Each structure stands twice: as structure tokens, then as C-alpha cells.
Structure 1
Amino acid sequence: MTNDTPRTVIAQGTFDLLHPGHVHYLEEAAAMGDELYVIVARQSNVDHKEAPICSAAQRRDVVNALEVVDDALLGHEEDIFVPIERIDPDVIALGHDQHHDGAAIEDELERRGIDCTVERASGRESTREDELLSTRLIIDRILDRRG
């Protein structure tokens, strides 16, 4: 007997000033399953780096426009696990450089009764000298050229 239930993957992040590194992460996350949901962080949840330039709704809409994304939604303002509980994924895909502790996420998933694995996507090297794979580097270039 085969299981026809689609394998659901969640990716999450800030996705401010979308760049090829983001696209690489989301393509790898999509390859981990059949459906890719992306949770876009609200500004109130971004406390590990500078506040996003673009609004959460704009960042969600741009991510949602990518072909590999089945649906993009805004994260919950108080409890980041609320959309995860609602979607009930098979996999949570972390970006290669995201600050999240995979083991701590797995512990919280288990505590909440969510049966899924946590996998980390690979990084991507620049393929061209002028390619920027970081929002910070894009902002630095803008300030350098236009500041």
C-alpha cells in the first residue's frame, strides 16, 4: 500500500530584499517534500538582526510569487509555533545560516505533539563576483552607491 498523502514542508525566515540565497533555500526546502509553506516573520519577531526594510505583507507577497512556494503566510506575533501547529508539516527546513537551534525546535515540536523532522538546507556560494547573497550586503552596496 502506498501513501498518497503529500509530504508537507515548512520554511521560515524574514526574506527582506529577496536574493538568490533565499531562492536557493526555498528551492532546497521544496525538494524535501511535495508542498512548501513559507512562514514570513513579522517585524516584531525579528530580534536577532536589524529590522526589515520591507513590510511583512510585502515580503510575504514576494515570497508567495515564487514558483516553488505553494503558500506563504505571516508568522504569529506571539507564538511562532501556531502556524506550524495549524499546517502540521512533515519537515521544517532551516536555512543554512539561520540562528535557530534545531534540537530546541525538535523538543518543542515533541512537547506540542507535532511529528516532524527538522532539516537544514545547504548554503550557496556566489557564482559571480557581483552576486550578493545577503540582505546586509545588498543594503551595504545601496548605501555605498547611493548613500
Structure 2
Amino acid sequence: MRLPAPTLEHLCDVAVTIATPMEVGATPAGFRRLIPITGGTVTGAALNGRVLPGGADFQLIVGDGTQAQLDARYVLELDDGSRVFVQNTALRVASAEDSARIRAGVAVDPSRVYFRCQPRFEPTSPNWAWLAAHQFIGTGLRQPDAVHLSFYKVC
């Protein structure tokens, strides 16, 4: 028996501003980088607010530099003043040339990059408890000084 396919409902768009990456270096697991998160905005029909400074994106570069396993952790402050901790894991895959451009802070045509994510939310307010009771997926775009994300609730 085949069950109905899930549908997606747009949750919000997030524009995350970032600082200069810190190159940690080569480890047995791959090449490590840390990207400080300096702020940003959250806009959408269901969620609005800002990204607080102080988070970071912990990256592991593998596959001869063509794959980035991302683990971003940051806090949203919503318009009602409540806060939501976000852990967003992602996979970004691009050619060796495009991956090198991204790491160098050069814009790359987003159609040439696979960037998908799975955000998890930990809200501090009961009004937002439903965020912790659903699955979400998203798409991403890396720019030289920002990361743009669109999050969708899996229905």
C-alpha cells in the first residue's frame, strides 16, 4: 500500500548575515571551517523576527572539496519577543570549481549548487510549540556575505 506523498507549506525565509570564515584546517574527517553568524531577518506568513548574533555554521568539507556538510546553530527572536533555538543541518554539493569559489567568498549561480537543509526548532514559548512537533526542510543559497534559506513544513 502506498501512502499519500507529503506536501510542503512555506514557513518562512531567513536571511543570515555572516562574518569572515575561520579556517580550522584539515582533520581526519575532512576540512573544517567555522562561519560566525552576525544576525539576519526572518520573514513569512507564519514566522517573523530576526536572527540574533552569536551563532555559527560548523562545516565539514569532504569529497575532494565538492561536498559541505553544514551544521548551523543560532537563535531567532520572533516579533512577539519569544526565542527559538535552531539547529539546521544541510548538504551543499557543487563542482570542485564552484565549491572553491564559494569557499573563497565568490558568488556562484545557485542553479549549479545543490543546497538542502533540515532545520529543527526548539521554541521557548508555548505559542510556538508546534514548531517542535513538525518536520521541516529547506533550500539554501550561499552568497559572499550571507546565506538565504527558505523553510517548509512537511505536511
Which interval holds the TM-score relative to the shorter structure? under 0.3
Give the structure-2-normalised TM-score: 0.24
Q: Higher relative contact order at CA 8 Å, sep ≥6: structure 1 or structure 2?
A: 1
The structure richer in helix per residue is 1
The structure richer in strand per residue is 2
Give the structure-1-normalised TM-score: 0.24
